[in-house]
A and B are shown apart, each in its own frame.
Chain A
Amino acid sequence: MTVMADDSWLDGEGPAARTGLSPPVGLAADDVAALAVALARLAETIDAERAALGTAGALEWESEAAELFRRAVAERSTLLAVVAADLRDAAWQVRAHANYLYAGLDCRPG
């Protein structure tokens, strides 16, 4: 099954909340899969911020203070790499739960 990406979802409160329907019973597998895609995209956003941080550290500045600043920027860059990894892990876990829900749908009689 193809999981459709929904960009507006990035700024909303969750896929189910924007369907306009009454509160759903349980959880739709498609919504969970879409959540996984959104989380993966957020990881890419963090990657982009990490690249932007790299340009902030690329100054024509030579001094002891400059070295400390570059080191601090490098530490933050590592921190952002951890954030991106955590988001990808979360996306993977959510995707795994979506797969679990899809598997349950496939086993349902009829």
Chain B
Amino acid sequence: MEENPPLPVAPGATTFTITGGVGSIRYTLAAVAAAAGRIQAAAGHVGSVGEQVDREAAWLESRTLSLPNYPFGAIEAMRRAGRSCRGARGSLQALADEARTAAQRYDDAERNTAATLARATSGRATSDGLAVWSAGLFAPLVMAGQLFHLWHNGRQAPRDTAEEVLNTLPAYAFGLLGPGASLGYQLRGLMPGSGPPAGVLAAVGAREALELAGAIAPGTLTVRRVPSSEWQRRPQPLPGPSAGAGSMGYGPEGGTIAPTIRGVLSGSSDAYAVAPSSIIVRKVDRGDGTTAWIADLPGTESWWPLDGQNVWDVEGDLEAMTSAQRAMFAQRQVLVEQLLKEALKDAGALPGEPVMLTGHSGGGIHAAAAAADPAFLAEVNVKMLVIAGAPAANQAVGARINVLDLQNRDDIVPALDLRAPPDTPQWVTATSTRQDTDTGANPLEKIARAHSLDAYLADADALDTSDDPSIVEQKHAITAFLGPAAAGGAVKYQQFVYQGRKDAEPAPGRTGPKAEPKKERGGIAKQGK
């Protein structure tokens, strides 16, 4: 595969905005709530001690009340200790209540502020739509003025502007229909709502429309282990007595991986290069006799046809974006998930062994969708995701899975999920602002470059030197995943490449049986192990 030309990115000049992780407000709020729980427990224990002391004092008093040697000093000391316990319990309880209430209030205030801002933005969009409606014949002029203003709005990053525009399109459209429609839309916005986020609804709508139009259709997956002779630039013989047979291609090739953000993310770059419609599976020797696995996913490789044999096509992206709603569609399986499971199993991954998923763009969506699917997680022990340029915010990734999400302020692709990335202790998003030296590039070129994986790898280089606490925590998670071998600076791995091919199903129905991936002749089944 042809490599992209070097980008005019100076890693030293790149700055980052970090959300999520140990440095985030949400992390602090969770920690404060946990501290409140511990203080509450302490209050309970101290209260129990006080009751115990009171009972014993009462017992001692009852046994000695009529005696000449009444232990006044001892009983009084016990009564005093009991009072101390009760006082401390009340004080601890009050502190626990205050801490819990403070955390909750802060959280509520954040949510209310976000909701108020969203309503205000929606209101502005409706007003803009109404302005066009009321301009009558001059409507095109007004619309052109609005577009000009939007294009030259330097207050927001292109990613955030794209997200805002996509989110407010319905409000704008209702404004175009006139005051009655816009008022109805705004009133609807005041009602408490629930259900899937806007980004998911949009993806569901797009997939349903394409399915109805016959542009996409269900299919079955065929998985093949790709011989190394097909993906190695310079085929290397395998070591050991079976080197002759191995060099024919079916054996895994090895290498070393740097225990860095760039080190793990670069696998996604390799996944673009090895073969179309493929993933890379790396078997990592952790250095203590245990094994970890990294699955590297490329991004969208095929844009047309929308639904072809390549699993990394637009239909595949929609499968991942609507993974949680898969029961609504004729194609009920996410084929990339099946490819991942088959590939890991064939490469020798045992249940419970830790797995990291890396992915760029569509690969990032698929990585997050898999890590949000309970059925997938029941079979694959996903520990961490490292993704870049991916609109993956709508995926409810398991709470114990670390996510390092690289975005760029000029990259509008991550805005396609129509929401900001999750701000949680486990999900850390690093949004870069690059010092682009090529100021003469046109905006579309700039956006394309912003989304390039090479640019994200340069960001990863810069992040590897970051001392931001959230990033440091994620780097620790990477080294912990790679095991003691990471301390040496280079971790050995064996590489496997698997190719998935989607074939159209003969006559699937919405209630048809679940399709299982096939193993192609000359592929996994034939190769054996």
Contact = CB atoms under 8 A, between A and B. Distances in A.
Contact of A57 (B35, B71, B91): B35
Given A39-B53, A60-B31, A16 B77 contact: no
Interface stretch (B44-52, B274-282, B515-523): B44-52
A90 B39 contact: no
B484 interface: no
A80 B88 contact: yes
Contact of A53 (B22, B42, B52, B67): B42
B162 to A, nearest CB: 33
A101 B69 CA distance: 9
A27 B39 CA distance: 39
Contact of A49 (B42, B56, B69): B42
B85 A83 contact: yes
B39 A83 contact: no
Contacts of B59: 13-14, 16-17
B80 interface: yes
Nearest to B66: A26
Contact of A76 (B28, B31, B78, B91): B91
Dominant SS at the A interface? helix
A42 B69 contact: no
Given A27-B67, A87-B53, A97-B74, A59 B31 contact: yes
Interface in B85-104: 85, 87-88, 91-92, 95, 98-99, 102
Interface residues of A, number: 47
A56 B52 contact: no
A30 B248 CA distance: 85
Given A53-B38, A55-B38, A86 B28 contact: no
Contacts of A24: 63
Chain B: number of interface residues, binned into ranges: 35 or more
Given A82-B84, A89-B81, A46 B46 contact: yes
Contacts of B85: 46, 83
Nearest to B41: A52
Nearest to B469: A60
A61 B117 CA distance: 27
29 contacts: A13-B55, A13-B59, A14-B55, A16-B63, A24-B63, A26-B67, A27-B63, A32-B71, A38-B56, A39-B78, A56-B39, A59-B31, A60-B31, A61-B32, A69-B35, A76-B95, A80-B46, A82-B88, A87-B53, A87-B81, A87-B84, A89-B77, A90-B53, A90-B77, A92-B77, A93-B73, A94-B60, A97-B71, A104-B69
Interface of A: 10-11, 13-14, 16-17, 24, 26-27, 32, 35, 38-39, 42, 45-46, 49, 52-53, 55-57, 59-61, 65, 69, 72-73, 75-76, 79-80, 82-83, 86-87, 89-90, 92-94, 96-97, 100-101, 104
- Which 5 residue pairs across A and B have the least CB separation, nearest first? A14-B59, A90-B77, A93-B74, A86-B81, A97-B71
